Each structure stands twice: as C-alpha cells, then as structure tokens.
Structure 1
C-alpha cells in the first residue's frame, strides 16, 4: 500500500507554496480561507450588512450595526496606504519621544559603566515601563497569569524577553546576524536621521547608512547576543515547576538592583490596581546574569536597544517605504522574496483579528459555524473523554494512586467550543459593544489605532490582577485555526475557526471527523498528561500527584519518543542535516501519539457497535469505495499534516518550536500505531511499521 511509505506524498507533488508565504499546509490553507471570510465582513466594498435581528431586538441590531462600522473603520484605516505614506515616520517618532522621555540626550551618554547609578536606574525603569504599557518588552516582560498554585487567583509573572530574532540559536548564525544588524542600521537611518531617505525608490545600500547608525546597530546586536547567551532553554521555560519562583519586591531588587521594581509596577499598573502577592520569576538565573550585563553596558547602548525594540514593534504600522528593511529581514527568516510587496488586505485582516478579534468572530460564527456543528463537536469530545477514562484502568504501569488522580483529572476536564460566552459573549452584539467600548478606532489613523489597542489591551490585562480568574473565557477569537489545552484551568479549547473542512464538517462520515478533528481533540486531552501537563492536578494547580514508581515508568516510556523523534532531520538552507530536538518536542509528540491512538479506539468502538450506520454516520464516499473505513480514518489523519515548507521556515521550527515539522507529526505517530500497520498491511520492519514502537497513553 502507498501509505506504508510516507504520508502526504500527493500533497507534496501537487501543492505549491504561495510566493508571499513560508509554508503551505491545511492549517495555513484554512487560515487563509478564514481570512477571506473576515475580509468579506470588514471590507466595506463587499457591502456586508448586519443580519436582520429577531422582532423586538432593536438594541441588539443597533449594537450589531455599530460593531460592523467599527470593524470597517479599523480595516479602512489599515488599507489606506496613501495616508500612511503621507504621514511618514512622525507617529513613530512621537512614540519614541514618550518611551525615551527619561533618557538624557544621547550625546551625553558616553559613559561606560553608569546604568547602576540611582539616576540611571530611574531612566532605565521608566523606559522599560513605557515599552510594557505599549505592548512591547525589553529584556524582561511582565504578564498577568493564573497563579500556578492557586489557579483562580491572578498574579504577576516576570519573564525573560528582549530578542529580536526568533530564538537564541540565530545569534550563532553569522549570515543571519549580519542581515539583522544591517536591518537595524537601515531602520535607524530611515527613522532617526535628518535626511528622509525613505522617499528613495530603491532599497538602502551600505553606502546610504551613516557610520553612527552602523555602530549603534552593532552595539544593539552585541547586547542581544549577550541576552541570547544567558537565555533559559525553552524546555525549562515550559516546565511549570522550574518556572515557579515567587519573589517579593525586596528579593527582586536584591537580584536585579539596576531596575527599580517598585517604580516599574507603579508605572505599568492601572490606577487603583496594586500588587499584593509575590511576583513569579520564570528564571532567577537569567535575572542574575542580566544584572551583570546591565552593569557593564553603556547607557547609550541601552538607549539604542530600547529604541530598536520600539522600532521593531511599531515599525510595521508605518507606510511601506518606512518599514522596507523589516520586510527584508522577515523574508530572510522565512525564505520568501524580499522584493515581494505584501498583500495588504491580508495584513489588515490580521490587524482585525488582533484588535477586534471577538467582534469579527461574531459575524464569522454566524456565517461558518451554523446549525448543530457545536453539538456534534461536543459529542465527539465527550466520547473521547470517556475512552480515556476507560483506558487508565487498563495501563499496568499506572499504580492505583496515580490512576485515581488521572481519572479525577479526566472527569474534571472542561470544554470551550466554538467561541467565548463570557468577557465577552461573542454571540451578543451588545456584550461585544460594551467589551470594546473603551477602545477608540479612527477611520483615518491606522498607527494611532494600533497604539490605542496596545494600551487598551495591556490596561485590560493588568486590571485583571485583583479579579478572580474567569476559567470560562476563551482567550482566542472564534476564527482562530488552532486548538489548545490550558493547564491552569484543565480546559480544552476548540475555536470555530478550526472546526471547518478538512478538520471537521457536521455532514462528514465519522471516520473522517475522528481521523482529523477527533485526533486533534485527543491531542489536546493528552496534553493534560504529557511531561508538562502532568504537573497540574484536576483543578489546574501545579501539584505532584504522581508516585515515584509511576513517574519513573512514565519517564522510561517518554525516553522512547525522545530517541525516536531526535533521529528525524531536515535539510537546512546551509545544506546540512538538522535534527529535531526530541526533548523540546516531547510534550507535542506524546500528545500526537495519544490523540491518534485514543481517537481511533473511540471511533472504532462506535463503528463496530453500529455496523449498519443507524446511529453513527460511516457511509462510503463516492470514488473512495476501494478504501476501508479504517484506512480512510488514517488517510483523514495524514491529510491534516500534509505540508510543504521553505527551508528557512523549517529552521525556525527546528530551533525554537515545541512542535516538530508537520511531516514528522504524521509519520512519527503512525510508525507507533499497530492499527495503522494492520489497516494498510505494512510489513514489519518497513519505515511505517518499525519493530520498536513508542507508547505512553
């Protein structure tokens, strides 16, 4: 059988990567289709009108009309590139003036070791605070999260940040670092120099950039390289036990005295909001080494570094001539052509999904998540949860206390399906209008809209600090093409955006829905019991509910996945083989394998209990009669992972993503599936049916 060799061969032969994108796969295809759907809602030229409300629902109708107008104003401002170009660089310069207000003029900062003085502590702290208030972050970020021990209580988390390249490994890549350094120098020249070089009709060359900006860029990259060198490994950042380090402000001040932490919180917290709990420090080791770096970095370098953080974060909101070097950098990192002009409507739909995502999602759901789709998805997930609960007692390596904890956790697992019903209720135009009421949108000020959104969203986030955690709120808008497991609330989340073909359709036979969306649901459920999720109990507390014996057995089984996926490799742009990090991707690999196994078992039990198809739909599809339902289940699974990527994008996945490249998510899982080998009669010892198979759940 062809599927005994590789999954997704037909896709590789027929599909081409869009010239402006780094990859094509069914996630990305659906993502683009959802963007098209949002465009038809928010682009005034499509003539979208709010649906006719029920009799007597005038308030809802008025709110719907106002919401649609707000969406269309945001989109129109983004699409107005002529105004963006005419406005020039001034909006960003105005924001730089605000962010850098605490700094003395750059000409006075020729000192070599002054950031630890009292005056400079205040300078640095206020600048960091201004970045945070605008949704940006220097070498640290401060976020409001659910407390790891008390998940219904909000707390502050201090995380490491500050890198302009995708991950710390990139700072060892000489070619990429040089492109990055050139980008910084060019953006400094365009935005900070007296001569407006952005009006040129061709990109800047090295001769166009003054030496002072080249020197400043070199110092910025040198500082970021130092930050990369002290960066915590991603695996440790994801580990909730290693990342749970409560520090009082006094302890934090002792750790990093170069920052006035009390002043920082006073600057970033909304009026009336105070912090009364210790701050959760993600990596004390990073902060200790950061202090050493700050003590040996000139204030002028810090000045330029913060300037660059602001430019990189806010620069994409300028007209194309003023952000062209950023486009060139992105092209280098993704393997696309630097000469391509970005498709503006796609960029503007991204703005919509970010700034007014739930408001746009209201209309998206009305169009594309109709009928009993939600009930059908809930039925699939409930059947999977039942299978897991029945599976735990059959696993001999689970002892009784750990098994009881696993069953308790699976029984307590909640579902958020389709869209959020709280804060805001996406189904209610009135709720959405109120939720976004403090966010002002102008039809003529795209840059200002982005600043106002950043301030509004960060104010909203920080204002939750003294409020209980709402575990029923879906964090992502309905049109999102993804699914999630949220450990602190023990919830699985499926936005309406991914509940579309080829992942799910209410009229599909079950072998297709379980092979795609069912596996995805099983994947998210399994995350509650992977090497990260297992550290949380049934109500989302970081708590060890495992015995030492079962923990040891789990680690032995997990090592099999580490070894298996660590042997997979991709060919990089440098022509060399680069292996998957089996440890970094362990949680995703355990979830992929568990999801496939449990979804198949769930579907098969339903299929065998109803062979005539009276209760469950498993009808044959025209043209596919030669395949058995079992084979079509796995074909449906394989199809969702079909992908084609540029080498530069694959390197981003290899270096800094917890997921392995898509091809390995498919092939790695079926290599471990006895049912797959049986369905396609794969001989023992072939690539898709190796003798050694890995299994946890």
Structure 2
C-alpha cells in the first residue's frame, strides 16, 4: 500500500492519484496482458500456487478429482502433440460441421446444408449450439425455485453490438474481417474469394447486431421476461421448427410439447431473425491460427503477446474443473482462521446496511419493511462449502466426464458435452439455492451477489493479499475486503437487484412513490459518472450501463466505513501505522483506494468504457469518496476541493 501511493499528490484533489500514483508510474503492463490490477496481482499468485500442485508428480495421495486436473493440464501443455497435428483438427471440425464456404468455394454444397441440422451436429460433437440465438436452461426469475427454457439474442463475434454497428469502414471491424479472411486463407481458401464471401457473412452479423437490444435496454428484467408456449413461438416465427429443435437439443434428458412455456428475452430479435433467414444465402450461415487471433486481439485489447502456455492452461483447467481446482486450493493454501474473521466483518457490514435501510428518509414504511426483510434474508457464502472437501461428492459429480492426458481437443469437447448435459438434464428439477456446487468455485479472486438466490459469495481466493489478512489492523481489512463486502450487499438494492424480492423472485415490491424517488436518486449517479471523461482515451463513461456497479460502490464503501466505526466502538481504537503519519480512519480510506490501483492499455480502457458494467479504476475511487462527507471530514478537504464537491449523490 505504501509503495503504491504518491504522497506528493493532494488527497483532496485526486485521491486515486494519491493512493495509486506510484503504482501508475512504476508498474508496467506485461506484453501478454491488457491490464494489471490488485485483482490480477493476487490472481497471479494464486495461479502460481496451483501450478506447483498440478505440475507435481502423481502420487498415492492424488484423488480422482486431482488426477483429472493434472491430466487436463498435461494435455494442454503437450504443445508437441498440438504442433504435430497442426491445422488438421480445425479442418476436421469444419468438415464435421458441414464445411466452411469461404474455404471450399464452389465445392461447398448449399443444397445439403441446413443450419438447424448443423446445430444438432454441434450439440452431439461438443461444440456451441448458440449460433443464431442463445438457448439455455435458466432459473425462472418469477418463480426462482424452478427452471425454464430461455431463448435470447446471442453473443456476437466482436466485444459488443456497438462495434459491429460502426460498419465495414471502421478499423476494428476491418481487423475482425481480416482475421476471418486470413484464417480462411490459412486453411487453403483463395483470399480474394474468401474476402467476398466473408464480407457478406459479416453484413449478416451486422444485421443481427441491429436486431439485438443494447445493454442500456437490458436492465429492466420485466421487459426481458416474455413468457410464451412453444406453439405461440412457432406462430410468431414459423420458419424455425421450434418443437423438434428444442427436443433434439434437450435429448435424451427431456421431452417437451407445444404447451411447454419458454422465456423469449427479446421477441423482436427472434422475429427479425426468422425473416432474415428466409432471404439469406445458406453460405453465410494451430499455432498459425493462434497467431492470427493474436493480431485481431491486439487491435481490440492492445495485447501483443500470448500468455505463457502454463498460464493459458491453468486458466483453462480452473475454468473447466472449478470444483476440483477449488478443492485443491482450499485444502493446501486457505488459512482457516480467515473464514471466522471474514464472517465477523460480514456481520458488522450487514448490520450497518440494515441501519441505513431503517433511517433513509425517502422510503415509505411498507417498502422499508420489505427492504429490511430482504436484507435480513441475504445468505452469505464465505470461502468454500464444506462439501467441496468431500472427494466422494466430486467423484459423483464428475463420474460421466472422461479426461485423458492425451488429446486436448477431445478433452475440451467432452467438457462441453458434460457441462451442457449437466445443465439441460435439470430442466424439471427444483432449484436448490443452497446447492454446494453454486458456491464451490473457491480458487477465484472475485466476489458475487446473486439476485435469484439473494446471496453474497466471497470465495477463498479473494480472502488474501491486498484484500484481507486476519493478522493486520482492522482498518486495512474494512477498507479493502470490507469495501467489496459492502459492494456485494448493496447489489441487492441497485437498479437491477432491487427488482427481486427476498426469495429471489422478480416481483414489484416497491410502492410507486418510493420507486420514483429511487430512480431519481439513481439518475444523480448516472449523470455524475456519465459526465466523467477518462483522460487517457478522451471518452465519457456510460452512466447508464455502469449505474448498478456505481450504486454498489457508493453504498459499499459507506457501509464498510460505518462498520469499522462500530467495530472500534465495540473493541476500542487501533494504533495507526507509524510510518505514514496518518490516522486510522485515513488509513481505512487509503486501503479502500489501494484495492483499485490498476493500469489499462488504451485499447482495453476504451473497450471497458464502451462495453463494461464497471467504471475504470480512477472513478471507482474518486466517485464514491467524493460523495461521502465522512471522507472529506477525515482528510480535512475544503469545500472548494474536487474530492469535496458541493453537490453529492447518495442512493444508500
């Protein structure tokens, strides 16, 4: 913390520069990274620890789940085998999927191609089925004890629809097209012919982007909850065989009838897609290849080098076998005393949020009581569930998954099939909100709020390093992980979380006049952040897309501060760190800001502003702190200073 700060900066003018100025000056972003942060620094340490485990020799102490982790990692690290195969696996995939018109040219048989059949092939072989629309089994948000079929607009090839809507003359869109053309050429296509073919394909994708709903319009969960039967969906989009499509995708686990209810998030997207398919040509629907991807990635994120192979593989293993990896981490590295200390902090911070709910002057009594009941019903999940350490449960979970240390592609296909089967087979099962697997990814440096569970989760991975240490002064912990804890609690009451009740169901539980006051207070946050300009790239933030995270930041730091004051009231004052000449309260604020020290490449910063739900680090510090009178009081900031503006925003 001390080495990150720049004491020459005025904390009342720019607290982010004061807390993180030296971090910005001295830390360099490695070539393989698009950004660095305290989160990524702690995650790097965690990955190094895991690496020592997965690269260790097999022994009699290895369990079935730990052996599976090692085998997947070995198959990923076997670069000789991957290089030996070259582009052949990719060519085989394309052949299995019906060929790629850009490569096969006139040899491609359009009469034999059917995109619906292509999706069925993908499902069977272990590839994505979400080509033209997203198909999933999700929790029914109006009855969160049960699941339902969900149909939504898909993720497109670029980071967001806004990129594609710039059109073919945009340099980022050209880079995306060039990537596809170069890949086709690498696979043997005539480059000129491939460019013509893929330009038409890209125009089709731009059409899909036009049909899709922007993020700003996806914050109202009720607007996205459009329930209809399969028969009704068939009537609205008649040229897609919905009943046979759904039954084939869900086979062999479930069969549905035309009376089955589904959620269609954006009906206009599906209807427009149906019309587009009627008039669209069917053809639209190795290391060398990885190098091409890197060229495109550099244009979008600024990253000009791949990660070390072991980091790529460790990331793939951690994401694919998160429970097995979480068990390894929890057993070998997690300090058990951290859980009790974190439990205590969560209790203190929750109590402060409840006090805020009881005292805010803009809520009517009926809504206030419901809000308090929701807050009291929040379930905390800290570190990891005890079931994670039970090898018999992991063995049962992974019993149908085949992993070897040989073929990486085969392993990844098996993992996709395993994950898809696991999701699809549960359509008729009641949701268990306390299922240990929902909170079993322990080796993660992040934290979560789930509106459908009304729960908060702080995995073992974040209870360390910059964020938390049970042996250091409480003002440092309350400033760091306390900020994060408060942030997640407040998510239950931000513009999206507030739409769900104490059980996790989408329900209007706010009185109209109180809802109007909340929206008005949220607008203050929207305008405040929407008027911030990131100096490095000259872009204004998107106040609408970031409002949920900004509301959570503003409420979270306030709750953590009040909770620390209550802790001091209960246990007595703590001694400040002698080296800095700062008070304990000032060190609380410094620790809070230190959490967000980070740097981005300009391309990534631009990407984050255009597509992200979070504000850049600078504004996650200066925004909330400038809204809190307590900050200005503790730092003796004059009323004319930037960190103590006369107009302040406050939701919670």
Q: Which residue of 2 aligns with 1:164?
A: 157
Which of 644, 654, 677 is the aligned partner of 2:632?
A: 677
Q: CA deviation at 1:238?
A: 3.5
The answer to whether the 8 A contact 1:162-1:224 is kept is no
Determine the C-alpha separation between the residues in 2 that align with 1:508 and 1:271.
Answer: 54
Pair 1:130–1:33, CA change in 2 (3 A): farther
Q: Does 1:593 align with 2:554?
A: yes
> Does the 8 Å contact 1:526/1:595 carry over to 2?
yes
Q: Say whether the 8 Å CA contact 2:38–2:466 is kept in structure 1.
A: yes
Measured in 2, the distance between the counterparts of 1:101 and 1:186 equals 17
Alpha-carbon distance, 1:102 to partner: 13
Equivalent residue in structure 1 for 2:273, among 290, 298, 322: 290
Q: Does residue 652 of the first structure (1) align with residue 607 of the second (2)?
A: yes
Does the 8 Å contact 2:37/2:599 carry over to 1? yes
Instruction: Identify which range, 267-276 or 464-473, moves more after superposition.
Output: 267-276
Partner of 1:346: 311
- 1:490-529 alpha-carbon deviations (Å, 9 max, x no partner): 0111111111111111112111111111111111111111
Equivalent residues of 1:102, 1:126 under 8 A apart: no
2:186 aligned residue: 190
Q: Which residue of 1 aligns with 2:48?
A: 36
- The equivalent position to 1:383 in structure 2, one of 331, 336, 348, is 348
State the shift of 1:296 in Å: 2.2
Matched ranges for 1:37-116 at <5 A: 37-44=49-56, 47=57, 64-100=62-98, 107=106
Question: Structure 1 residues 507, 295: CA separation in 2 closer, same or farther (over 3 Å shift)?
Answer: same
Contact kept in structure 1, 2:100 and 2:108, CA below 8 Å: no
State yes or no: 1:488 paired with 2:452: yes
**Is contact 1:683-1:689 (8 Å) kept?**
yes
- Residue 293 of structure 2 is matched in structure 1 by 326
Question: Structure 1 residues 350, 192: closer, same or farther in 2, change over 3 A?
Answer: farther
Work out whether 1:239 is the aligned partner of 2:220: yes
Q: 1:344 to 1:524 in 2, by over 3 A?
A: same
Matching of residue 150 in structure 1 with residue 143 in structure 2 = yes
| Conservation of the 8 A alpha-carbon contact between 1:419 and 1:495 | yes
1:360-509 matches, within 5 Å, as 360-421=325-386, 425-473=387-435, 474=438, 477-509=441-473
Any idea what the Cα deviations from partners look like across 1:406-436, whole Å, max 9, x if unmatched?
0110111101111245xxx321122212211
CA contact (8 A) 1:236 1:243 kept: no
Question: 8 Å contact 2:86–2:287 — kept in the other structure?
Answer: no
* Structure 2 residues not aligned, in runs of 5+: 1-8
Structure 1 136/374 Cα, relative in aligned 2: closer, same or farther at 3 Å? Answer: farther
What is residue 577 of structure 2 aligned with on the other side?
A: 621
CA distance in 1, matches of 2:157, 2:344: 44
Could you tell me which residue of structure 1 aligns to residue 255 of structure 2? 274
Residues 1:592 and 1:516: Cα distance change in structure 2 (over 3 Å): same
Partner of 2:498: 534
Establish whether residue 210 from structure 1 lines up as the match of residue 199 from structure 2.
Answer: no
Mapped to 2, the partners of 1:36 and 1:621 lie a distance apart of 30
Specify the alignment match of 1:127 in structure 2.
118
> Conserved in 2, the CA contact under 8 Å of 1:389 and 1:410?
yes
Work out the CA distance in 1 between the residues paired with 2:415 and 2:439. 16
- 8 Å Cα contact 1:22/1:335 also seen in 2: yes
Match of 2:33 among 7, 21, 35: 21
C-alpha change, 1:570 and 1:136, in structure 2 (3 Å) is farther
Q: Deviation per CA, 1:617-646, whole angstroms, max 9, x where unpaired? A: x3433524x111100110010001111101
TM-score by length of 2: 0.92
Question: SS where residue 687 of structure 1 aligns?
Answer: coil
What secondary structure, in the 3-state scheme, does the structure 1 residue paired with 2:152 have? strand
Tell me how far 1:90 sits from its aligned partner: 2.5
TM-score (norm 1): 0.86
| Contact 1:110–1:298 (Cα < 8 Å) also in 2 | no
Quickly say closer, same or farther: Cα 1:135–1:571, change in 2 above 3 A.
farther
**CA 286–594 in structure 1, closer or farther in 2 if over 3 Å, else same:** same
Post-superposition offset of 1:255? 2.5
CA contact (8 A) 1:365 1:478 kept: yes
Higher deviation after alignment, 261-270 or 396-405:
261-270
Rounded Cα–Cα distance in structure 2 between residues aligned with 1:140 and 1:2: 51
SS of corresponding position for 1:594: helix
SS in structure 2 of the partner of residue 415 of structure 1: strand
Q: Distance between the aligned counterparts of 1:581 and 1:48, measured in 2?
A: 50
State the alpha-carbon separation in 2 of the partners of residues 129 and 248 from structure 1.
22
Superposed displacement of residue 101, structure 1: 8.2
How far did 1:68 drift?
2.4
- Residues 689 and 177 of structure 1, relative CA distance in 2, 3 Å threshold: same
How far apart in 2 are the matches of 1:632 and 1:530? 28
The CA distance in 1 between the partners of 2:328 and 2:566, in whole Å, is 37
The answer for unaligned runs of 5 or more in structure 1 is 51-60, 194-208, 303-318, 613-617
Instruction: Write out aligned runs for 1:544-623 (5 A).
Output: 544-571=508-535, 577-612=538-573, 618-623=574-579
Q: What SS is found at the alignment partner of 2:402?
A: coil
Q: Secondary structure at the match of 2:175?
A: helix
Secondary structure class of the residue paired with 2:480:
helix
Instruction: Report if aligned partners of 1:125, 1:263 keep a CA contact under 8 Å in 2.
Output: no
Deviation of 1:20 after TM superposition, in Å, equals: 0.9
Q: Which moves more between the two structures, 371-380 or 663-672?
A: 371-380
- For the residues of structure 2 that align with 1:234 and 1:476, how far apart are their CA atoms? 29
CA distance in 2, matches of 1:639, 1:162: 34
Partner of 1:178: 174
Q: Secondary structure at the match of 2:221?
A: coil
Is the CA contact 1:162–1:227 (under 8 Å) kept in the aligned structure 2? no
CA offset at residue 129 of structure 1?
3.7
Tell me the CA shift for residue 108 of structure 1. 7.9
Q: CA deviation at 1:167?
A: 0.4
- Cα 1:476–1:324 change in 2 (3 A) is farther
